[in-house]
Structure 1
Amino acid sequence: MSMPIVDEAANVLADPTAYTDEKRLHDALARARATAPVSLVEAPSYKPFWAITKHADVMAVERANRAFTNWPRPVLMTAQSDEMQAAVGIRTLIHMDDPQHRIVRAIAADWFSPKAMRAMGVRIDELAKRYVDKMRDAGGECDFVQEVAVNFPLYVIMSLLGVPESDFPLMLKLTQELVGSDDDELKRSTPSDETMNSLLEMFAYFKTLTDARREHPTDDLASTIANAKVDGEPLSDIDTMSYYAIIATAGHDTTSSSISGGLRALAEYPEQLDLLRGNLDLIPQATEEIIRWVTPVKAFMRTAAEDSVVNGVSIPAGDSLLLSYVSANRDEDAFVDPFRFDIEREPNKHVAFGFGVHFCLGAGLARMEIGKFLAELLPRLTSIELAGEPELTATTFVGGLKHLPIRYSLT
């Protein structure tokens, strides 16, 4: 068993600005994989954690969900934010472990089943056409993220929840503030000790929605959550609000990042774009490669429930581990030529949706949205190029492009 290794390269994982500089990020993570794949990170403002950077190690930890738990620290945040969330009592699906996780996850599972996805297909086709038409009407140039990519998946997930369209702008603002709390452009213009305000405002909104759905249930996901019972008892207010919050944010920002990052990749790799336009049957494979390439969920955290060993390094019980999906999805031992965008990549065992019991509940919906958007866009797209410098979100959790200026021709 090797001695614990500390390599400063892994410190990028605790630096939100590192995710805005892909070369800096990937150079550091490649070094960490090569020299210290399990490295202790002690960064200012954060509680210490072990950075897990190899694909095989991430998978091993995900499989061992009893030895490595989601509670109490599922996401990398500053120590101050950890304490603030604990004080509020937030308990989303990503905070829970089995058996509670399995029971609560089942509440919404039918809404994301293959049968439900087939039923939603026609509506998603309509929305894809609406937003490609919007690109056409923009006159051949737009900021694809702000004008298209953030709105298409927002419309899908909010319609599923039953949020009225008049409230979509508010939901967009709140979800962007939640996942963009480390980004100077996206975060609230308030002191750092008020960063919980976006979440509390979202909770207040969904409390009103819950009351309405309990009094008058309708055929939407909000009604299912509002009227759910566990062991014969309704969910607590905090668990109900937490459920809405994770569905709203995870169902929106991750897909938005994938669609915009995928279009950027196709613009920057024209041979891959030509290949895909010439054979739309490759869309399912292209979708998986886009998700690997973008990896919108950058990392999740786990806590060692017992003394453990990961890749020869001893992890004491109670210590935190960061599973770097970004690093795992560029691991040279898991992917052939991992820094090549390859829409024909097979196999493509990326970990962008996680693995095991916490595999992303909405993975099927995300794949459908990306695939249907490509199926609508590509036959109508005759040219595309970048019209300015893409800009990425500063984050340590969820993120991708926040601006993608493009110039294009559409029929």
Structure 2
Amino acid sequence: MTASDHRIPQPLADSLATPAAYADGTIHESYRWLRQNEPMGVAKIEGVDPFWVATRHADILEISRQNDLFHNGDRSPTLTSQAVDKKVREMMGGSPHLLRTLIHMDAPDHHKYRALTQAWFMPQNLKKLEDRIRVIARASVDKMAAKGGECDFVNEVALHFPLHVIMEILGVPESDEPRMLKLTQELFGAADPELGRGGQAATFVDAPDRDFDFGVIVDFSNYFRALSEARRANPTDDLASVIANSQIDGAPISDLEAMSYYIIVATAGHDTTSSSTGGAMWALAENPGEFRKVKADPSLIPGLVDESIRWTTPVKTFMRTVTADTEFAGRSMKKDDWLMLCYASGNRDEAVFEAPDEFRVDRKPNKHLAFGYGAHLCLGQHLAKMEMRILWEELIPRLESVELAGEPANSQAVFVNGPKRLPIRFKMA
């Protein structure tokens, strides 16, 4: 790693790998300093390979455009300690990946595997699902209304609505949804004392076994292997049947790749949407003026959706690997250097967003980076935005007022996080 003069101050570097910093919001203080003083610095953290840190919107965008120069699959695409990396490579025959999803792939494989399900997530196909999604959304609002004026919006509404939608698309029975939710929370919240399997707070480096719980992967794979066998024997019109019977270059995809595909759809397909939905309600409860704006003008709902995605930015970080010696943003990068994209920082970049720390339902333009950019632009972005739009179209007209009724909390995670608890008091029309 080069550029020792661009080393990030140790407390700020450590915060980048501290799950609790993403829960209590102190990561935004680190990001603010880095954008102003060291927007492309080097983090050196004990127990972790050194990595570049991109915090400005323009740099994140440019790195995301250059998919040949900045790879996903050469090293772990999520921040990983040296102990975990060693363990994974031993288990996986030298590969740094426990899974092989779209986020672990580069060209030409990435395009081929993305094409297997891409049509399912395009707007023209999703239109066919709109009526069904509206029925599910209406049921979610009815359930909230029946709570009598108080509820934990995350655990009683936001988690279950997108979960039900994606499981129905995938072909998972409703009776198995609680299991899918628990496994998702254990996967993304491995370091969170309330969500992870260990039941205690985990630092990033001190608890490598908690960083990425292999047992969760095994449980997911066992479930989807049985589903896959059933869909190969009796295909239906769900997404599981597409994955189970997929072929690349005339040959069936491997078990690892099939299980990986199921797992990313079954986790990212709802978790990030529920986080943004919870983030929206949290912001509306704290900003009654913004709630009144969208209440008075429902045409602002798409703006509310985009702003809540920017505000929450559920996918906080992704890693890239430099494929050749290069000059970028005034820095000399070497082949195999590791690099962190800080999306939540890019989405609060003062150079792009006016008053970035304010929640504005009418923010225009809103060029947030929460879905990524370039070849790895989120496959499910249209579905996520449609689900959220429909939920708010059903909820806002019936919601008279909302306020916090206790202390909300975010999950502790460096990769994907969002609200895990949101007690609210509300009045329905």
Aligned match of 2:397 in 373, 379, 394?
379
Q: What CA distance in whole angstroms lies between the structure 2 residues aligned with 1:2 and 1:205?
A: 47
1:178-205 CA distance string (max 9 Å, x none): 0001111100138863721011110111
Q: What CA distance in whole angstroms lies between the structure 1 residues aligned with 2:389 and 2:5?
A: 43
Q: Does 1:63 align with 2:65?
A: yes
1:32-60 CA distance string (max 9 Å, x none): 11111011111133222111100000011
Q: Which residue of 2 aligns with 1:268?
A: 286
**Helix, strand or coil: the match of 1:323?**
strand
Q: Which residue of 1 aligns with 2:204?
A: none
Q: What CA distance in whole angstroms lies between the structure 2 residues aligned with 1:388 and 1:323?
A: 33
Amino acid at match of 2:81: T
**Helix, strand or coil: the match of 1:251?**
helix
Aligned match of 1:128 in 127, 137, 161?
137
- 8 Å CA contact retained: 1:10, 1:29: no
Q: Does 1:80 align with 2:98?
A: no
- 8 Å CA contact retained: 1:303, 1:318: yes
1:318-377 CA distance string (max 9 Å, x none): 011000001000011111111111111111110000000000000000001111111111
Residue 81 of structure 1 deviates from its aligned partner by 2.9
Q: What CA distance in whole angstroms lies between the structure 1 residues aligned with 2:267 and 2:88?
A: 16
Q: Which residue of 2 aligns with 1:93?
A: 102
Q: How does 1:368-407 map to 2 (within 5 A)?
A: 368-407=386-425
Q: How does 1:330-409 map to 2 (within 5 A)?
A: 330-409=348-427
Amino acid at match of 1:289: E
Q: Does 1:107 align with 2:123?
A: no
Amino acid at match of 1:6: R
Amino acid at match of 2:423: P
**Helix, strand or coil: the match of 1:322?**
strand
- 8 Å CA contact retained: 1:10, 1:51: no
Q: What CA distance in whole angstroms lies between the structure 1 residues aligned with 2:149 and 2:411?
A: 25
Q: What CA distance in whole angstroms lies between the structure 1 residues aligned with 2:166 and 2:347?
A: 26
Q: Does 1:193 align with 2:196?
A: no
Q: Which residue of 2 aligns with 1:33?
A: 35
Q: What CA distance in whole angstroms lies between the structure 1 residues aligned with 2:382 and 2:154?
A: 22
- 8 Å CA contact retained: 1:308, 1:316: yes
Q: Which residue of 1 aligns with 2:22?
A: 19
- 8 Å CA contact retained: 1:258, 1:295: yes
Q: What CA distance in whole angstroms lies between the structure 2 residues aligned with 1:309 and 1:73?
A: 22
1:67-124 CA distance string (max 9 Å, x none): 0000122111223333444434421100000110000000010110111110111111
Q: Does 1:49 align with 2:65?
A: no
**Helix, strand or coil: the match of 2:400?**
strand
- Give TM-score, length-normalised by structure 2: 0.93
* More divergent stretch after superposition (173-182 vs 5-14): 5-14
Q: Does 1:234 align with 2:249?
A: no
Q: What CA distance in whole angstroms lies between the structure 2 residues aligned with 1:66 and 1:106?
A: 19
1:116-151 CA distance string (max 9 Å, x none): 110111111011111111111111111111111111
Q: Show structure 2 runs of 5+ residues with no match.
A: 93-97, 200-206
Q: Show structure 1 runs of 5+ residues with no match.
A: none
Deviation >4 Å, runs of 4+: 1-4
Q: Which residue of 2 aligns with 1:289?
A: 307
Q: What CA distance in whole angstroms lies between the structure 2 residues aligned with 1:122 and 1:352?
A: 27
1:280-317 CA distance string (max 9 Å, x none): 11111111111000100001110000112221011111
Change (3 A) 1:83 1:254: farther
Aligned match of 1:175 in 167, 184, 197?
184
**Helix, strand or coil: the match of 1:302?**
strand
Q: What CA distance in whole angstroms lies between the structure 2 residues aligned with 1:148 and 1:198?
A: 24
* More divergent stretch after superposition (86-95 vs 288-297): 86-95
Amino acid at match of 2:125: A
Q: Does 1:300 align with 2:318?
A: yes
- 8 Å CA contact retained: 1:174, 1:202: yes
- 8 Å CA contact retained: 1:2, 1:312: no
**Helix, strand or coil: the match of 1:408?**
strand
1:226-257 CA distance string (max 9 Å, x none): 00100110000000000011111111110010
**Helix, strand or coil: the match of 1:333?**
coil
Change (3 A) 1:154 1:2: same
Q: What CA distance in whole angstroms lies between the structure 2 residues aligned with 1:404 and 1:196?
A: 29
1:351-408 CA distance string (max 9 Å, x none): 0000000000000000011111111110000111100111111101111010000011
Change (3 A) 1:85 1:210: farther
Q: What is the RMSD computed on CA atoms of the aligned residues?
A: 1.5
Residue 3 of structure 1 deviates from its aligned partner by 6.7
Amino acid at match of 2:147: A
Aligned match of 1:159 in 143, 152, 168?
168
**Helix, strand or coil: the match of 2:6?**
coil
Q: What CA distance in whole angstroms lies between the structure 1 residues aligned with 2:381 and 2:88?
A: 26
Q: What CA distance in whole angstroms lies between the structure 1 residues aligned with 2:428 and 2:100?
A: 45
Amino acid at match of 1:45: G
Residue 2 of structure 1 deviates from its aligned partner by 7.8
**Helix, strand or coil: the match of 1:252?**
helix
**Helix, strand or coil: the match of 1:384?**
strand
